[in-house]
């Protein structure tokens, strides 16, 4: 099976696919900070280097 790794025009990781199945996606704000990532059905929200939220868990 082929793994496809996509990057945006700023060379930031945006998507990982295996065949036609999306394994992970990532979104960035206008400053280039990762603000959201989804991997295996789990969504992580990143708040500008302050903390991240994954499900009900928060990490600073």
pTM above 0.85, yes or no: no
In the chain, the number of structural domains is 1
Candidate ranges 17-21, 29-33, 44-48; pick with highest mean pLDDT? 17-21
**Which residues does 21 contact at the CB level (< 8 Å), separation at least 6?**
none
Predicted local confidence at residue 58, as pLDDT? 57
- Which tokens is 29 given? 């704000």
Predicted confidence band at 6 (pLDDT cuts at 50, 70, 90)?
very high
b/e 13-47 (16+ beta carbons within 10 angstroms → b): eeebbeeeeeeebbebeeeeebbebeeeeeebebe
- Tell me the residue range of the domain where 54 lies: 3-59
User: Which helix (H) or strand (E) is 5 found in, with range?
Assistant: strand 3-7
């Amino acid at each position: 099976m082929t793994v496809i790794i996509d990057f945006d025009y700023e060379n930031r990781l945006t998507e990982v696919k295996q065949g036609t199945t999306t394994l992970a996606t990532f979104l960035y704000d206008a400053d280039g900070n990762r603000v959201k990532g989804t991997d295996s059905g789990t969504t992580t929200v990143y708040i500008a280097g302050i903390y991240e939220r994954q499900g009900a868990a928060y990490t600073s």
